[in-house]
Amino acid sequence: MDKRAQLEQWTTLVADTGDLDKIADLQPEDATTNPSLLLAAAREPRYQHLLEQARTLCADLGHAGELDWLTDTYACLAGQAILERIPGLVSTEVDARLSFDSRATVEKARRLIAIYRELEVDPSRILIKIAATWEGIRAAEVLEEEGTRCNLTLVFSPSQALAAAEAGATLISPFVGRIADWHRKNGQQWEAAQDDPGVQSVRHIYQCFKARGLETIVMGASFRNTGQIEALAGCDRLTISPALLGELAADSGTLTRVLDSETIEPESDWQPVCEATFRWQLNDNAMATELLSDGIRRFAADQQALETLLMKEA
């Protein structure tokens, strides 16, 4: 078997792209979107029909000319199109500009789910994607209690991961590549993939979750090379770009399972993460603080660019 097939024995693979043709070709279990991927798709002439459908749906729902509704319907239509090509789940992201407003995040998520219902999409196949701020985690807690499953994204620290899991989040997305980039930029060097700071972060989170009996899915994200992916073989899920999925499929070498929950000893003596602890630990972690803020700014900028594009095309 090639390395992709070997990896699929232990790990659910998720396509990290908004390209419908590539998703159909790669045949992953799940797929994830974000404002950057949706913006890239919206700029493609072959996806203009989704923009037209979004305008029609907005009008049908009584919100013609309302830009926030247009972007939401476009995101849901893209999600619907992806779900027609995969058997599993798709993540749809809440506007990053709401990352510090729990109530607004909950309301936006409810709207996205309502639009999916209008499209006759099963809400159980949707993960609402939210930045892992304290406010975002609290919003996810409310949504999970309502039956809406959530993906807490932009995870760069154990405190973010644990707080999200303790709030009942269905899934978290720790960003391997961005963590590695930050450490390399700040002078750290390593040879083996197992010593990569991004890889080590996900391994630590996985270990903590399984030891504490936390059911939240760990999905490594933001990979720069296949070495990082192979060093996390056995992780619950991995979201991988089409290029790296292709590299794995072209490699017939032997892949070894690295992460296995069956080998982890249970841990019973641990304390939940409170707000004060969360904020202090995040503040005390320069890498996590910088990357969380940068990630929110980047997604917000792409959301604004998407709005500008949709407004221009209207």
In order, the DSSP letters of 85-147 are T-SS-EEEEPPGGGTT-HHHHHHHHHHHHHHHHHTT--GGGEEEEEE-SHHHHHHHHHHHHHT
Q: How sure is the predictor about 141, in pLDDT bands with cuts at 50, 70 and 90?
A: very high
Q: What is the mean pLDDT of the chain?
A: 95
pLDDT of residue 231: 98
pLDDT of residue 112: 98
218 has pLDDT over 90: yes
What token pair was written down for 244?
Answer: 């790296």
258 has pLDDT over 80: yes
313 has pLDDT over 80: no
Compute φ and ψ for 14, nearest 5 degrees. -125, 135
295 has pLDDT over 80: yes
Indicate the pTM of the whole model: 0.95
Strand pairing class (30-32; 90-93): parallel
The number of folded domains in the chain is: 1
Mean pLDDT in residue range 286-312: 94
Among candidate residues 141, 128, 133, the one with its CA nearest the CA of residue 94: 128
Residues 6+ apart with CB under 8 A from 172: 132, 151, 152, 153, 155, 160, 161, 164, 165, 205, 216, 217, 218, 219
Task: Using DSSP, state whether 18 is helix, strand or coil.
Answer: coil
Q: What percent of the chain has pLDDT over 70?
A: 99
CA distances from 244 to 14, 39, 192, 238, 268 (A): 12, 21, 18, 11, 38
Q: How sure is the predictor about 47, in pLDDT bands with cuts at 50, 70 and 90?
A: confident
Mean pLDDT in residue range 97-104: 98
pLDDT of residue 314: 60
* DSSP 8-state assignment for residue 261: G
Q: How sure is the predictor about 25, in pLDDT bands with cuts at 50, 70 and 90?
A: very high
Q: How sure is the predictor about 268, in pLDDT bands with cuts at 50, 70 and 90?
A: confident
Please say if 185 is a catalytic residue.
Answer: no
Q: Range of 237's domain?
A: 3-313
Residue 302 is which amino acid?
A: D
> Using an 8 Å Cβ cutoff, are 125 and 141 in contact?
no
Among candidate residues 52, 39, 46, the one with its CA nearest the CA of residue 22: 46
For position 158, which CATH number holds? 3.20.20.70
Among candidate residues 193, 134, 157, 172, the one with its CA nearest the CA of residue 290: 157
User: HSE of 281 in the Cβ direction (CA atoms, 13 Å)?
Assistant: 16
Q: What string of DSSP letters covers 197-217? A: HHHHHHHHHHHHHHHHT--PE
Please identify which of the residues 22, 129, 185, 210 carries the catalytic annotation.
129
